[in-house]
Each structure stands twice: as C-alpha cells, then as structure tokens.
Structure 1
Amino acid sequence: MTLSGTIDMGLYRDYDKMNKIGQISRSDLTFSGVEDLGGGLAVTFKLKNRFSADTGIGVDTLADVGKKPFFHGESTVGLKGGFGSVQLGRRLDVLGNNDWGFDPWYNFDSVASPAWSFWHWNYATDRTSNNGNAEYGRLNNGIFYDSPSMGGFSVHYSGAFEKSTQAGAGTGNNNGLALKYGGGPIALMLASTKNSSGDTDTFAGAKYTVGNLELMGAYDKSKFKGTTSTSTAKVYTLGTSYTMGLMRFMASYGHLDTGAAVNPNANMIGLGAQYFLSKRTNVYASLGNKKFDGAGSLAAYGVGINHSF
C-alpha cells in the first residue's frame, strides 16, 4: 500500500474581498495499492480524502461539512491489464479526470485559473449525490474505463446507472465519453457527457509544446435542463506556461457567455509563477481579475506553498 498526498496553504485575498489563510489549490490524503495477479493482470484500489489544511476538517470547507463523503476525492477498486483499466466506485468523470491538461494551473488554482472559475458552468455530474447537494466533477456508484494508448489515441468512459433516492434526483443514466490524442508536441481532447437529469457538457482542448513553452486552448459548452427551458453556457480559455530553470510562469484568459438574457458575459485574466524548492515542493504567487457584465471588476491575489508526498 502507498500513502501519498498534497498539502496546500496560502495567504490570499479572495474574490469576496476577504483576506484569508487557507488553500488556494487542494489538499488530500490518498491510500492506494496494486496487487499483481499474474498474466499481466492486477487489482488496483484508491481511497482519497480531501481536507482543509488550515482547519484540519475532513472536507474542503466548513460549508461542506455533512454534505460530502469522507473519501470525497475517490474510492475505487478495479482491474488493469493489457485492455486498459476498469474501476468501480466514486471518481472523477471523463471530463474532470482528463481536462486538467489544457489549463496552465491544471484546473487547480482558485485565484488565477479561468478554467477553475468558468469551465462546466452549467454542469453538475449529479444534482443531488452529495446528501441532496450537487456534485461537480465526480460520480457515485460509477463504472470507469481508460484504454491503453494506441498510436497516441486513447478512449475514456464514465457512467452511473444506479438511481439516487434523493428528492429532485434525475431518473436517467449518467454517461460520458472522451477521446484523447497525445503524440509528440501535440495533445488533443474531445469529450461529451450527460448526467441523470439530462444536463450535458461538451469539451474540446488542444495543447502544443515546443521546448519549455506550452500553448493551450479549450472550449466548453454546458446545458442545464430546466423544467420549462434549457440554459446554455459557452466558455473558451487560452493559456500558456513557460519553464525556466526552477521557475514556471503561467498566464491565461477566459471568456464566459452564461446565456442569460441580461448581462450574460464575463472575462477573466490569470497570472502566476512557481518556484520549485524540490521535485515535490514549490512556492507560488497567483493573481486573477474577473469582470462580469453590469458589475465592477473583482481581483484576487495570494502566495502559497504546495508540498506533495
């Protein structure tokens, strides 16, 4: 068994204009393991707890107490071999498990990342699975398949067929499919998902790497199926990162069209830098600015330290 995780702590001023000490990214504790069954077949498991390092509580924020499971990050068991891997349990769906590669912060910075703020605007993987509250990113009672790479191409599936007993839960199945390509300097992704309530999300991403420079872009279209109408949100982001010695610099721009009849648009710019003290520890600075139609711009900024073990 392997014990691993990440601890993130920062000093920052958030978009709510409050000064805070806490996580700008995420903190987690993971138990994982592999048993070799022979013949190229192995059993895998992973249990991941997300916690708030500034308070020690076993969820991301105090507002999440009683709403999210203890192993909020992941709880899966499965098999892997030449066919790829199959997992059962709770995990990120095909969007959340793969889209991070098309954002300079890996969709993991609440201050600077437009992806964190705008992607999948109208889409919850399940509207009620967190004790009646919406879940963004993960599926309960799910089945997950990740194929091996074949000529740079890979296929990924996530689905859930068990119906929730929570009030307001959807009655359909949850299905998602992603196709990825990674060959040389080019990375591509196309994915589409539908939750049990009929909401949908379509995502496309591209990245080009030349030397220490990365250029990337993504487009996301999410639809929320209401009782009488459907709300559609569209997002595009453009980003870049450059590594120079022990430093890494990031920048990104994002545009959101919420589809609302009044003041539908928002724009965001994010800047950041990391300094790597070791392979597993970095200190960083993040800066973001958001502007919604009909409102003044909002700024957030902070510095932090991130350690993986």
Structure 2
Amino acid sequence: MKKSLLALAVLTAVSGVASAQSSVTLYGKVDLGLTLDSGSSSGKSVRLDSGVTGGSRIGFKGVEDLGGGMKAAFQLETGFCADSAAGVSSNGATVPNFCTGSNAFMGRQAHGDLTGAFGAISAGRQYSLGFNNLSTIDPFGTGFAGQVNNIVDPSGIRLNNSVTYSTPNIGGITASAEVAFGEQTGNWQANRETGAGLTYASGPAYAGFTFYDVANASGNGAARKNYLLGGTYDFGIIKLHALVQKSTGPSSLDVLDMMGGVTIPVAGGQVLASYIHHNDRTLSDKDAQQVGVGYLYPLSKRTSVYMAFARINNEHGAAFTVGNATATGTGDKAFNLGVVHNF
C-alpha cells in the first residue's frame, strides 16, 4: 500500500512538472469607438468602429520547453468586427469590411517559433520588422486618429509566407532579418519581400533601424524600399518619440517622412501627441502635414477609455485621410471616443 501511494505521488509530481513545461494562453481585445470624420467632399461620416486603437481580436499563444534552453511556440490570432458582421456575405452581398487583417480564420497572425541560444526563428504570417519598429516609436502605437501610418508607409504590416530570424539579445541589441516569399512558380523573386533590422532597448531608451524592400510583380526590381530610423526616450515626466523614413522606388516615388511626438502622464492617464511632415520630393510635390492629440485613461489594468483627434493638411493634390487601426477614414479630420478591453 505504501509503495502504491509512493508511486502515485511520484507520478503526480512528474505529471505536474511535464504540464508546467508547456502552456497555451487564450487572449484577446474588444475595442469599440465612435468615429466622426469630416473634411471630405462627400460630407461628414459618423460611425462605430471596431478596433480604433488596434483591431478587435481573439488568439491563442502556446509554448513548450524542449530542454537544453530550446523552446517551441506558436501564435494563432483572428480578427473580428465587434460592431457588425462586416466581411460576412448575406444574400450574395458582401458587407464592407472595416476590420483589420481580414476576417479570414486566423487572418491576423499565424506562425510557429523556435527559440534557443542561437536566437529565434519564426515562420508563417507575422508582423514585418518595419511595422514593429514603427509601432514601437509612434506615440499612438499605429492606432487612434493620430497614428503615424496615416501618412508614413508601414512597411508591409503583416507578411504572408515569411521567415524571420533574430539574434540573441546582447546588451540590449538585437539584429533581425526577414524574407516573405512571393511563391510564384518560375520566378521566385516576384513580389518577394525582404527586410532587416537593428534595435536597442534598455531601460528608458529605445532605438531602431529597419530596412524593407518589396519586389515588383516581374521580380526584376524594387516596387518600394523603406529606410526607417527612430527611437524613444522616457524621462518619467515626459517620453519623447522621433523618426525619419526615406521611401524610394520607381521615378514616381521619392519621399522623406519625419515625425516628432510626446507621451505625457496626466491625471492618471496619458496625453499622446505627434506632428508628422510628409515631404514628396518628386515633381508632383504632394506634401502633407498631420497633427494628432489624444488621451488614454485606464479604468483598470485591462480596460481603458480614450479620445483622439487628428487633422491632415494636404498640399498640391495629396489625398491622405485620417483613419485609425482598422479604418482608412473618409476625410482630413477625425475624432475618436471609445473604450478598449484586453483579456
């Protein structure tokens, strides 16, 4: 009897250790905000957007300890429209889709990872290095009306068929490289996307440089190249944000974008503000400037209320609109008011 009890205790202990070596986490976000657009020749727009600060989503993360310092992991994440059935066909008609990443199953992210002393390898559908860098630097985190990517090209956002490698973090420095295959038979370079990055993150400081290149449909040249350099520094009473991005391509693309911003703790929340200058250096000279301001107030660790306003000044035929994380917007001015819950 004693031996049986001892065996049962050992089995229970081993089982507990084994289960502790792997885990799966369910997470998500529900974001609903009132958006008022104006400054369009079509008139004003008043609507409820799902995902103003970042797309409403539900996802799963898993990790397994393989031993010897190696771990296998995965992430599966799908978007949804909390305000409607956007993207769902009804009687043969498709409702306009304002939700990010499409409503395809796990359409936001779906990738597998392997990490160890060698660094990290990730493959599947995942955020580009350039977009991660942009989101880290932008005071609005590429959301709200004030998001930097209303004007600045986001470098691919999510890349299909992609493989990313990152070195181990050494003194806060990480180097990364990525390739997203176009998968065209007979021309493997067509629509191929490549990128590289070097970031530093330690204490209150962050700095990042990323390069992004998307090949044209023929595979014999670049449709676009982005070079992004920027960073943030948190002084406690104020956090500074700054970036510059050069975008080049065929003769019709030569752009220099610059952004300066701040995050300021105020009354238990955060004031967000930025100014962006888009300098079109081609003969068309379609310049633009954007000013954005917002306030984010946490009601709890998971729930916050927010408001934001942004305005774009388009010049010489430029046609940028003020959007948010899931909507492109309809005019050159927009106001957001909403609540976001993370779980």
Please report the TM-score for the alignment, with normalisation by the length of structure 2: 0.77
Q: Does 1:282 align with 2:304?
A: yes
Question: Could you say what secondary structure the match of 1:101 adopts?
Answer: helix
Alignment counterpart, residue 30 of structure 1, candidates 54, 59, 73: 59
Take 2:333 and 2:61, find their aligned partners in 1: how far apart are those partners?
A: 38
**Partner residue in 2 for 1:222:** 247
Report deviation, 1:117.
0.6
Unaligned runs of 5+ in 2: 1-23, 89-94, 217-221, 320-330
- Matching of residue 102 in structure 1 with residue 102 in structure 2: no
Higher percent of residues as strand: 1
Q: CA deviation at 1:72?
A: 2.2
- Taking only aligned residues, the RMSD between alpha carbons, in angstroms, comes to 2.5
SS in 2 for 1:6: strand
Answer yes or no: is the 8 Å Cα contact 1:284–1:303 preserved in 2. Answer: yes
1:147 shift after superposition: 2.4
**CA deviation after TM superposition for structure 1 residue 58, in Å:** 6.5
Aligned in 2, Cα 1:51/1:169: closer, same or farther, shift over 3 Å? Answer: farther
User: In structure 2, how many angstroms separate the alpha carbons of the residues matched to 1:12 and 1:141?
Assistant: 34
2: CA distance between counterparts of 1:169 and 1:118? 31
Aligned residues of 1:186 and 1:206 also touching (Cα < 8 A): yes
Aligned with residue 19 of structure 1, among 23, 46, 70: 46
How far apart, in 2, do the equivalents of 1:221 and 1:71 lie? Answer: 32
- Structure 2: distance between partners of 1:64 and 1:164: 29
1:150 aligns with 2:170: yes
Q: How many residues align?
A: 287
Structure 2: how far apart are the matches of 1:58 and 1:47?
Answer: 20
From the CA coordinates, give the structure whose radius of gyration is larger: 2
Identify the structure with the greater helix proportion: 2
The 1:252/1:156 distance shift into structure 2, 3 A limit, reads same
**Mapped partners of 1:253, 1:289: distance in 2:** 10
AA at the equivalent of 2:207: L
Matches within 5 A, 1:175-186: 175-186=194-205
Q: What is the deviation of 1:291?
A: 0.7
Do structure 1's residue 45 and structure 2's residue 65 form an aligned pair? no
Which of 124, 142, 146 is equivalent to 1:112?
146
CA–CA separation in structure 2 for the residues paired with 1:187 and 1:58: 38
What is residue 332 of structure 2 aligned with on the other side? 298
Which whole-Å CA distance do the structure 2 matches of 1:62 and 1:71 have between them?
19
- The Cα of 1:192 is off from its aligned counterpart by 0.7
How many angstroms does 1:146 deviate by? 2.4
Q: Aligned equivalents of 2:80 and 2:274: distance in 1?
A: 27
**What TM-score comes out, normalization by structure 1 length?**
0.85
- Is it true that 1:270 corresponds to 2:297 in the alignment? no
Amino acid at match of 1:71: M
Partner of 2:84: 55
| 1:194 to 2:213 alignment | yes
Preserved contact between residue 49 and residue 98 of structure 2 (Cα < 8 Å): no
Aligned-pair CA distance for 1:170: 6.2
What is the alpha-carbon distance in structure 2 between the residues aligned to residue 305 and residue 290 of structure 1? 24
